[in-house]
A and B are shown apart, each in its own frame.
Chain A
Amino acid sequence: MALPCQILEMSEFTSFGLSLKLAFLTALGLLPLALFLGRFLAFSQKNWRGFCEAGLMLPLVLPPTVMGYYLLLGLGQNSWLGGIYAAISGKTLVFSFEGILLASWLFNLPFAVQPIQRAFAAIPHEIREAAACCGLSNWQAFWRVEWPLAWPGILSSLLLCFAHTLGEFGVVLMVGGNIPGETQTLSLLIYDKVQALDFQGARGLSLGLLVFSFLSLAAMSRLEKRKPVQRTLSWAAQGVEDV
Chain B
Amino acid sequence: MKRLHPQLFQVVLKALVFCFLFAGTSPAWGEDFSVAAASDLQFALRELIHGFEAQSGHHVRVSFGSSGQFCSQIQQGAPYALFLSADQHYVNLLLEKGLTRDHGVLYAQGRIALFAPQGSVLKVEKGLAGLLPLLAAGKIRHFAIANPQHAPYGRAAKQALLAAGVWNALQGHLLMAENASQAAQFSLSGSSEGGLIPLSLVLAPAFKNKGRFLLVPENLHAPLLQRMVLLKNASRAAQDFYLYLQTGRARQVLMRYGFALPDS
Contacts and interface: CB of A to CB of B under 8 A. Distances in A.
Interface of A: 13-14, 16-18, 20-21, 24, 72, 76-77, 82, 86, 91-92, 94-97, 147, 151, 177-182, 184, 192, 194-198
Contacts of A196: 42-43, 64, 181, 206
B15 A195 contact: no
Contact of A192 (B15, B23, B26, B64): B64
Contacts of B216: none
Contacts of A96: 79
Contacts of B24: 14, 17-18, 21, 97, 181-182
A197 B62 CA distance: 16
Contacts of B1: 147, 151
A197 B25 contact: no
A18 B25 CA distance: 9
Given A72-B76, A95-B77, 12 more contacts: A14-B26, A21-B23, A177-B63, A179-B34, A179-B61, A180-B62, A181-B26, A181-B32, A194-B185, A195-B42, A196-B181, A197-B206
A20 B65 contact: no
Interface of B: 1, 15-16, 18-26, 32, 34, 39, 42-43, 61-65, 73, 76-80, 179, 181-182, 184-185, 188, 204, 206-207
Contacts of A192: 64
9 contacts: A17-B25, A21-B20, A180-B34, A180-B61, A181-B24, A195-B42, A195-B181, A195-B185, A197-B185
A61 B181 CA distance: 30
B221 to A, nearest CB: 23
A59 to B, nearest CB: 22
Contacts of A14: 22-26
B79 A95 contact: yes
Contact of A195 (B21, B39, B78): B39
Contacts of B62: 180
A18 B39 contact: no
Contacts of A20: 15, 18-19, 23
Contacts of B80: 179
Contacts, number: 97
B48 to A, nearest CB: 15
Contacts of B76: 72, 76-77, 92, 94-95
Nearest to B60: A180
Given A17-B24, A18-B23, A24-B19, A195 B77 contact: no
B68 to A, nearest CB: 14
Contacts of A195: 39, 42, 64, 179, 181-182, 185
B175 to A, nearest CB: 14
Nearest to A219: B8
Nearest to B27: A10
A16 B18 CA distance: 11
Contacts of A82: 77
A176 to B, nearest CB: 10
Contacts of B73: 95, 177
A198 B46 CA distance: 13
A182 B78 contact: no
A95 B78 contact: yes
Contacts of B65: 178
B151 to A, nearest CB: 12
Contacts of A72: 76
A126 B13 CA distance: 37
Nearest to A184: B63
A92 B25 contact: no
A24 B22 contact: no
A30 to B, nearest CB: 16
Contacts of A181: 24, 26, 32, 61
B23 A94 contact: no
Contacts of B20: 21
